[in-house]
Amino acid sequence: MTARVVPLCDRASKSQAVKALLALRGLILAGDLRPGERISELSIVERIGVSRTPVRHALVRLEEEGFLEAIPSGGFAVKAFSEDDVFDAIETRGVLEGLAARLAAERGAPEPKLRCIQDHLDDIDRLIARAEITPTSFEHYVRLNASFHSDLIDLAGSRQLLRQIERAVALPFASPSGFVMAQSVMPDAARLMIIAQDQHRCILEAIVNRQGERAEAVVREHARLAARNLKAALNSSTSMQLIPGAALIARR
Amino acid sequence: MTARVVPLCDRASKSQAVKALLALRGLILAGDLRPGERISELSIVERIGVSRTPVRHALVRLEEEGFLEAIPSGGFAVKAFSEDDVFDAIETRGVLEGLAARLAAERGAPEPKLRCIQDHLDDIDRLIARAEITPTSFEHYVRLNASFHSDLIDLAGSRQLLRQIERAVALPFASPSGFVMAQSVMPDAARLMIIAQDQHRCILEAIVNRQGERAEAVVREHARLAARNLKAALNSSTSMQLIPGAALIARR
DNA sequence: TCTGGATCAGTTGTATACAACTGCCGAACT
DNA sequence: AGTTCGGCAGTTGTATACAACTGATCCAGA
């Protein structure tokens, strides 16, 4: 009997701690847990089906990720984000990515990696050229966009910077992909994609040409495109529904 | 018997989890745990005197803080930092503090806070003017310098940015105070203090005058002073002994 | 009626027992 | 002799029992 029966494997192959982390983060992002109110460990235990130990692990991690805040008398509560918080988070992400681009330009990036990114950008061009925007093609765009951004960080080659950006991007509405799906239901979606893609090209060109300051400046402006998306999305509940973690954003 | 006997209170008033966190961080910074090698939970338990539960909490937190890295097969190891890592961490901190200064300048800071910072800077001026550098006066300088930097972050008024900077500064050698003590045993200590203090003045002036870009640029250059200190300290074991967490920095 | 205090349910914090896993050593077999 | 398999020690991961604490409710007394 070498083949054990593992019907739960696809869900249970990961440790209970990981399971708890993913499940709890899911609950938070979905808005099942109201911001501000205390999270009862036991209620999570019975919802997720693991014991308190991994749940507590997940709580600590999610506090570090920024989704929870510790309550002085013990325990945790879901954090509420103001609109200003979200704009600041985006600006901060832009500044950090800007540093990544500048470092890549100043220090020089390996040729093969640059070619690889160039290929990714060509893919995006082809996608945009097709002129029809479907949910599927948009998801594809989101993926390509996300990989451009992670490639960019990779180019900088700095572990410390990577760590900081990972933290900034942990909040989904601060990530480069946060507002792209929201963009899809907006009237000028195609126009925004064209602008964003041109910025991608400029960023890469600046890095290739070793123009550190230019690379940094364009990346920052690129992040502000996300801020503009947010501003527009805030007036459209259809868009907001496409934003992960929108439930955590408290309206003024 | 309302008065319980609490002789251990000064050490035990904090929870076991906090105790474990502080003690373990202390062990790491002191270099008692060799970078790269696995940390045995039980060995920590008997060194610190709390059970495994709070120790594991501390391990998770210290991983988030950046001192530890998870081992694929389970457990954690102390992270080793290259000299490049340290320089990058300083540059990253400078960029984030630069954002704080720019936001403060662009958005405007409340008058009373600005006056308060001005007073702190006056204190530093008086300290420098005394011309004699003793360990005590240097520690005083370190305190004043640290509070200037935290005031700066406060001026920006951004929770998100605060979070990111706190993370960047968690690594002691990336913090604004990291290399100041090392500076104290260097020949041109007085000169560096004068330069740093002039930068402090310029930063505040830029914020008052709403010169966002200038504030950002000077703060970045100010951080690079720390990088210069590091470069000098790396050649002097006397200096290195004054740098917290120096044991984690692997020489090339 | 209002205030004070004490009890109590429900919570989180801690310790510990147990299970599962990893890497290693040795022995046996090829 | 080399290789592979099996068992073992020691580790981490998980569950759970227990302790300490918090906040609230209820009752008694002024």
The string of pLDDT tens digits covering residues A180-189 is: 888 888 888 8
Supply B83's token pair: 């000299």
Q: Which residues of A touch B64 (CB under 8 A)?
A: 61, 64
* Distance of alpha carbon B43 from alpha carbon A226, whole angstroms: 48
From the alpha carbon of A52, which nucleotide's C1' atom is closest? D15
- Tell me the pLDDT band of B8, cut-offs 50, 70 and 90: very low
* Distance of alpha carbon A71 from alpha carbon A61, whole angstroms: 15
CB distance B91–A85 less than 8 Å?
no
Q: Residue range B65-81: average pLDDT?
A: 94
* Distance of alpha carbon A8 from alpha carbon A12, whole angstroms: 5
CB atoms within 10 A of CB B24: 26
Helices B83-107 & B189-208 angle (0-180, nearest 10): 30
Supply A134's token pair: 């479907």
How confident is the model over A83-99, as pLDDT tens digits? Answer: 999 999 999 999 999 99
Number of helices (H), then strands (E), belonging to chain B: the values are 12, 5
Whether B27 and B33 have beta carbons less than 8 Å apart is answered as yes
- Tell me the pLDDT band of A6, cut-offs 50, 70 and 90: very low
Whether B118 and B204 have beta carbons less than 8 Å apart is answered as yes
* CB contact set of A106 (below 8 Å; sequence gap of 6+): A210, A212
Supply B242's token pair: 């004054």
Which nucleotides of chain D have an atom under 7 angstroms from any protein CB? 10-17, 21-23
% pLDDT > 90, chain A: 74
CA of A39 to C1' of D26 (A): 27
What local confidence, expressed as pLDDT, does residue B212 receive? Answer: 98
- Tell me the pLDDT band of A131, cut-offs 50, 70 and 90: low
Q: Residue range B12-40: average pLDDT?
A: 90
Nearest Cα to Cα of residue B220 among B99, B124, B106, B120: B99
CB distance A91–B85 less than 8 Å?
no
Residue A2 has pLDDT above 50, yes or no: no
CB distance A159–B88 less than 8 Å?
yes
Q: Which of A60, A92, A103 sits opposite B60 (nearest CB)?
A: A60
- Tell me the pLDDT band of A3, cut-offs 50, 70 and 90: very low
* Distance of alpha carbon B41 from alpha carbon B62, whole angstroms: 13
**Does at least one atom of strand C sit less than 7 Å from the CB of A75?**
yes
Supply B55's token pair: 């120790």
Q: Which residues of A touch B (CB under 8 A)?
A: 56-57, 60-61, 64, 66, 84-85, 88-89, 91-92, 95-96, 98-99, 103, 158-161, 163-164, 167-168, 174
CB distance B158–A64 less than 8 Å?
no
CB distance A95–B92 less than 8 Å?
no
In A, minimum Cα distance to B62 occurs at A64
Q: Which residues of B touch A161 (CB under 8 A)?
A: 88, 92
What local confidence, expressed as pLDDT, does residue A130 receive? Answer: 82
Phi, psi of A127 (to 5 degrees): -60, -45
